Amino acid sequence: MKNSSATPTASYGRRAASYWFVDGLPEILFGLALVIMAALVFLWRTCVPQPWIRFDLVIVAVGFLLYYGMERRFLDFLKSHVTYPRTGYVQPPEESPWRVPTLTTLSLRPDLPAKENVTLFEGRTMVLVFWFCCPFMLTADPLGRWVVPVLVPSLAVALYVVSRRSERPYRWWSALILALAGLAFIRVDVPAPLQRPLPLLLAGGWLLAQGAYTMVHYLRTNPCPRAAEGVRA
């Protein structure tokens, strides 16, 4: 074995649980989905002379449902081409909230068992974005020009707080950037068709940027895909 003194001290289970986020693909895909949804809402409101307001919500709700149903398939496909050939494949233990963790940890001061897995990205990020960005679409003009400056910083704080102890915490400065992006619209007069999809657009852009940053770092540190599958003795 090679010298592994520089290996981080987190347990193997926890490292496996955070491995899902190592390449930034979950953020990139979800960010892209949000940007597409925002674009569709914007197009709907620009192209249709008298748009039915609730249809915004229909577009976003259907978008979220489609994303929820197809996320794993897309991610598995992308990861099988980008991540698994570079750094391998691992499936963390599935977690059900009612299941008692059965992991044995060989330590007298055991690390916490791996509590997180891939599904928690949906719970901590997707659900929050949905609940922050969608309800205001039900009403015609709830907060007027204050929608973005109120909603986006609140979303940033919620994302930071909810995920700060997870395997994929958002950095405080990253959440601050999202909050400031929202606050910047206090002074900017946003055109009416863009007002409703703007929180989705900002959240999507933020996730895309974050995912892209992670991916660039990942590709730099793991440049060469393996030539051939490992051979067993």
Tokens representing residue 65 in the block: 């449902």
Query: CB of 216: closest distance to another protein in angstroms?
Result: 20
- Determine the Cα–Cα distance for residues 19 and 159; give it in Å rounded to an integer: 20
Tokens representing residue 9 in the block: 């001290």
Length of the chain in terms of residues written: 233
55/84 with CB nearer another protein = 84
Tokens representing residue 117 in the block: 């897995």
Query: CB of 219: closest distance to another protein in angstroms?
Result: 16
Per-residue b or e along 198-218, where b marks 16 or more CB atoms closer than 10 Å to that residue's CB? bbbbbbbbbbbbbbeebbeeb
User: How many C-beta atoms lie closer than 10 Å to residue 27's C-beta?
Assistant: 25
Interacting residues toward another protein by CB under 8 A: 1-4, 7, 11-16, 19, 76-77, 79-81, 84-85, 87-94, 103-106, 108, 114, 226, 229-233
Query: CB of 213: closest distance to another protein in angstroms?
Result: 22
Query: CB of 64: closest distance to another protein in angstroms?
Result: 25
118/200 with CB nearer another protein = 118
Query: CB of 217: closest distance to another protein in angstroms?
Result: 17
85/193 with CB nearer another protein = 85
**In contact, 128 and 155? CB cutoff 8 Å:** yes
46/91 with CB nearer another protein = 91
- Determine the Cα–Cα distance for residues 84 and 222; give it in Å rounded to an integer: 11
